């Protein structure tokens, strides 16, 4: 891109940024407005949830100028960012869904049985906090996906920006995304081989489950379905190399993806509208769901426990063993906080409800590991009210970074 073209693009983006901000902050809408990205699993998690619930929203495609608005409104370049009908800024998919569930309780996506609801939140946090490792492995761990997706993401960023070329942006995207390997413990041949095995193991477990059950927790979708749908649809299913694996080895999971995708779609009566009941834990946990819990026990639990310890000790990097293979990760304050929330959900169960789960959690080795080191408090959201963002500061980390930047001026 020439200097003149760069200057022209900058001016165009600045103008569009101010125009888009006026649209997003219009304040005269009776529906939610969600700034999302086609390649964001968390965006699709929230949108498919809203489709199922029948919650009206306006979808806004995020390009470069819109992400600049996200930094101003939510403190960081992140999607989804959502505006409520009364112009409150919201970010972070899980708190957004919890807020929406309280505001729109009809068509519940959380089981009435607290024990089953805990399993739902366990699977949901696995999808949010461990699946990123798996999908970043498949997306950037082979040449076909790397080449295709660097161009696809670039196309989204330059959407509506005629002076910018995706061919010139794609190599930058590729270099940036590959850099996440060190953060997600994806370095080394042994790790990569193990990740290939994990992908096949997870798909095999899901295939067996969907042979007997339409959704993860029985006959209707829960928050766990929407959370797992995001990475499976946006990454595994849509990326060319992993798509082949899914179509040839996980056809029932592909059908589940299409079912979730069409929920709430009234065009030609495409979306499913009749559902059956949740699983009844009194009758025992299905073997396929027990296998999923065992997979979570050897992947998600050790990573999140080690993250919580590192965050509490203020260590930036740490080693831990996942599925028998040692890997090095960067400490995520958010992952530590999310794991604490899951532990608190378990702690808040009554003794009878914990007893109802004990067999399944012990057999799968979720317990005692989940609670064995106690609950390590994360201060990330102390004094904040997720999902709401005030004055462009969503959490303590962003507040610290902004204050540090001011001092440096």
**Domain range summary for the chain, segments of one domain joined by +:** 3-107+387-408, 114-363
| Eight-state DSSP code of residue 319 | E
The answer, as to whether pTM is greater than 0.85, is yes
pLDDT tens for 195-236 read 999 999 999 999 999 999 999 999 999 999 999 999 999 999
Please state whether the peptide bond connecting residue 142 to the residue before it is cis, i.e. omega within 30 degrees of 0.
Answer: no
Q: What is the structure's pLDDT at 187? A: 96
Q: What is the structure's pLDDT at 21? A: 45
* CATH (residue range 114-363): 1.20.1050.10
What are the C-alpha distances in Å from 81 to residues 42, 76, 169, 264? 10, 10, 24, 22
Q: What is the structure's pLDDT at 161? A: 67
Q: Which residue bears the tokens 């041949």?
A: 189
Q: What is the structure's pLDDT at 290? A: 98
In the predicted model, residues of the chain with pLDDT beneath 70 are: 1-29, 63-66, 160-164
Please tell me the distance from the alpha carbon of residue 150 to that of residue 170, in angstroms, as a whole number: 5
| Residue among 133, 121, 130, 115 nearest 97 (CA) | 121
pLDDT tens for 15-33 read 444 444 444 545 556 889 9
Please state whether the peptide bond connecting residue 232 to the residue before it is cis, i.e. omega within 30 degrees of 0.
Answer: no
Q: Which fold does the domain 3-107+387-408 belong to in CATH?
A: Glutaredoxin (3.40.30)
| Residue among 386, 299, 284 nearest 338 (CA) | 386
Q: What is the structure's pLDDT at 124? A: 98
For residue 53, how many other CB atoms are within 10 A of its CB? 20
């Amino acid at each position: 891109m020439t200097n003149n073209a760069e200057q022209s693009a900058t001016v165009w983006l600045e103008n569009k940024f101010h125009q888009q901000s006026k649209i997003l902050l219009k304040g005269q809408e009776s529906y939610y407005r969600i700034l999302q990205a086609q390649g964001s699993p968390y965006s699709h998690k929230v949108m498919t949830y809203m489709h199922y619930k029948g919650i009206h929203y306006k979808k806004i495609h995020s390009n470069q100028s819109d992400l600049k608005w996200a930094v101003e409104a939510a403190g960081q370049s992140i999607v989804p960012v959502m505006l409520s009908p009364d112009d409150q800024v919201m970010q972070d998919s899980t708190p957004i869904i919890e807020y929406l569930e309280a505001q729109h309780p009809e068509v519940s996506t959380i089981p009435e049985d607290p024990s089953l609801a805990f399993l739902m939140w366990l699977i949901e946090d696995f999808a949010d906090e461990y699946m990123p490792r798996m999908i970043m492995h498949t997306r950037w761990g082979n040449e076909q996906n790397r080449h295709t997706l660097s161009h696809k993401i670039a196309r989204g960023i330059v959407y509506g920006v005629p002076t910018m070329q995706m061919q010139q942006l794609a190599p930058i995207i590729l270099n940036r995304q590959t850099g996440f390997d060190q953060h997600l413990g994806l370095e080394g041949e042994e790790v990569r081989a193990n990740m290939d095995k994990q992908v096949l193991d997870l798909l095999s477990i899901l295939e067996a489950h969907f042979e007997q059950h339409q959704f993860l927790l029985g006959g209707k979708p829960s928050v766990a379905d929407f959370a797992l749908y995001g990475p499976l649809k946006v990454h595994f299913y849509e990326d060319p190399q992993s798509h082949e694996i899914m179509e040839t080895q996980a056809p029932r999971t592909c059908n589940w993806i299409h079912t979730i995708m069409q929920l709430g779609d009234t065009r030609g009566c495409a979306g499913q509208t009749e559902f059956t009941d949740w699983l009844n834990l009194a009758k025992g946990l299905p073997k396929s769901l027990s296998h999923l819990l065992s997979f979570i026990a050897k992947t998600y639990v050790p990573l999140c426990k080690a993250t919580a310890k590192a965050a509490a000790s203020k260590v930036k990097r740490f080693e831990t063993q996942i599925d028998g293979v040692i890997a090095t990760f960067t400490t995520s304050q958010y992952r530590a906080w999310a794991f604490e929330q899951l532990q608190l959900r378990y702690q808040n169960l009554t003794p009878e409800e914990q007893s109802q789960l004990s067999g399944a959690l012990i057999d799968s080795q979720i317990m005692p590991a989940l609670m064995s080191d106690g609950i390590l408090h994360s201060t990330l959201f102390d004094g904040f009210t997720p999902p709401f963002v005030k004055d462009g500061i969503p959490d303590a980390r962003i507040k610290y970074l902004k204050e540090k930047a001011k001092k440096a001026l």
